[in-house]
Copies of this chain bind each other. A is one copy, B any other.
């Protein structure tokens, strides 16, 4: 069994990804994004992200009810069902699930962001959180009966409300439950780039130990990326392949060693 994370960018060659998956003789779980679709729909309906600044000075995007509506429409709706359709066209009997369905991904809602408004300190609580547990029985039931799960946000929180979460955290949790031999993460870059503007700065191989060293040297976006990668190794050994989702055969390329291999 392996886990495949499909980035939500516009450039990902979904047809290529799914037809590649169909040629493999292995069970897998897909986790996909849909940020490009969501942003596009938000633009069309004139919805603007609400960004707040916490007391400690960090900017956060608030996941309000409309944010979750948009997520249901684009992640769990349009993108998930088009991926399932592609799977079916390639002979993969896929079932698309949000975290709410069968409580397949349960999370804990964030406690809130302290903000200063009109001279007062307020606690803003939005619909966001972190994945905490997986309905493993349901995923096994589906896999054993020949179905391929295609998972997306939103998750379900401790009070059964839909919440937003990071796909990286979902993949890490799945990994801790299933100890997949490999995790393929398809992005809109050739792999792990030291300089995001320079494709030739691709690192072909990184060890777990090197990840730790690197993490201490960088910050911002790069630090977050490395942290997300490191989480994948917390529950045991695996091979993570970070690879380009825009090529003709993204999964084949990843399995053939293009991109960045981390183990």
Residues of A within 8 A of B (CB): 41, 44-46, 69, 72-74, 76-78, 80-82, 84-85, 88-89, 93-98, 100-103, 137-138, 141, 145, 147, 154, 156, 159-162
Minimal beta-carbon separation of A47 from chain B (angstroms): 9
Cross-chain contact A88 with B100 (CB below 8 angstroms): yes
Nearest first, the 6 A-B pairs at minimum CB distance are A77-B77, A73-B73, A88-B160, A72-B81, A89-B160, A73-B77
Chain A interface, DSSP helix/strand/loop, else mixed? helix
Contacts A95-B102, A102-B95, A160-B89; is A78 near B84 (CB within 8 Å)?
Answer: no
Minimal beta-carbon separation of A16 from chain B (angstroms): 17
Chain B's closest residue to A98 (CB) is B81
Identify A156's interface contact among B69, B85, B162, CB under 8 A: B85
Tell me which residues across on chain B come within 8 A of A160, comparing CB atoms.
85, 88-89
Contacts A78-B69, A103-B88, A162-B85; is A95 near B97 (CB within 8 Å)?
Answer: yes
Cross-chain contact B81 with A76 (CB below 8 angstroms): yes
Supply 10 A–B pairs (Cβ within 8 Å), ascending by A. A44-B44, A72-B77, A72-B81, A74-B77, A85-B161, A85-B162, A88-B156, A94-B101, A96-B98, A141-B145
Whole-angstrom distance between the alpha carbons of A243 and B88 in the complex?
A: 37
Whole-angstrom distance between the alpha carbons of A97 and B162 in the complex?
A: 17
Tell me which residues across on chain B come within 8 A of A102, comparing CB atoms.
93-95, 147
Whole-angstrom distance between the alpha carbons of A84 and B138 in the complex?
A: 16
Chain B's closest residue to A91 (CB) is B160
